[in-house]
Amino acid sequence: MFKQFSIQAPSAVIETELQHKIDNKTKPLGALGDLESIAFQLGKIQQTLIPNVSKPKMIVFAADHGVVAQGISLFPQEVTPQMVMNFLMGGAAVSVFCAQHNVPLRVVDVGVNAQLNEHPLLGIRKVAFSSKDFSQQAAMTSHELEKAIQAGVDEANLAIDDGVNLLMFGEMGIGNTCVSSCMMTALIGVSAIDCAGRGTGLDSAGVSHKAQVIEQSLTRAEQVTGQKRSAWSAQTLAEQVGGFEILAMAGAMLQSAERQTAFVVDGFICSVALLFAQKVAPSVRDYAIFAHQSNEKAHKLLLDHLQAEPILSLDLRLGEGSGAILAYPLIQSACLFLKNMASFESAGVSGSEQ
């Protein structure tokens, strides 16, 4: 069994003071829109009137997936290790944006189907060389699930112990939109065709095939477990149709929340990791800041289910943490207006008469 998490919802004690401080800045009530919500959430998480995200970190978890054998991706599996090397060499979008905003990047191998060379930015926490093809058998053993969750826990602890006060997560793994869609289908009870998207660029026939593979995989797992998917525990779902990097992200989110540290949710795949984490411990949701609504078909449906308001909507569908790092300057701005913007009293400006 994987680690049990003890997550407390952020205390409401500071809410009145926070809202008063936000409302008394030199602006009309609510005029900074979503920035006010972010500032309020961060202040509540950190239990302070001056929340701080000056020491962020991006962690990208990478793994391969056996279900790629079913032809659900345009790209071959060897792209996963190639892209990991691209991250490490600074050539990927997330690498470029992290460098732009001076955010440290760490890439963690939890299941890449290759032996990767050592690199200063690379963490090796390999669970196995790829998950199994879940259309034919369980994706992983209970021991592998435990290791995947623990990889995320250990990475979150490593960062927070080093003083990181905002974690951002990304992922890399050919086939992981299929895995995410499969997990989402089981977790919220929608159809496979509603969850299956174009991923790396599938055409309509490819999407239809992906949905078929998802439904066949879930039916196989129901027969093996003797349970309807709606009755599966988090452990059963993960073992049957999970992905190592998705579960590592979930573990990192859960540990971040347990340690009362805010984290940024990237796009569709990262949101599915949060959905799984929420099944394990519902209060994890309180610590999540949603970066963007992606172009992936099911992401809006999932965001609506999570009652999440993302910061951006830029038609992105890249993954790898790209949306999370693009949202970071706005999260910084939310903290800075709360800290530095004048109040009506301090600026000698007349407030509203209403």
- State how far the Cα of 75 lies from the Cα of 135, in Å rounded to an integer: 19
Beta strands in the chain (DSSP E): 56-63, 105-111, 122-124, 166-172, 263-265, 288-290
Helix axes 176-188, 268-280, angle to 10 degrees: 40
- C-beta of residue 87 within 8 angstroms of C-beta of residue 171: no
C-beta of residue 24 within 8 angstroms of C-beta of residue 345: yes
Known catalytic residues are: 320
Start-to-end CA distance of the chain, whole Å, equals 57
- At 176 the three-state DSSP class reads helix
In this structure, what are the phi and psi dihedrals at residue 108, rounded to the nearest 5 degrees? -120, 120
With CA atoms as reference, report the closest residue to 221 among 140, 110, 129.
140
User: What is the three-class DSSP state of 284?
Assistant: helix
Q: How far, in Å, CA of 209 to CA of 157, rounded? A: 40
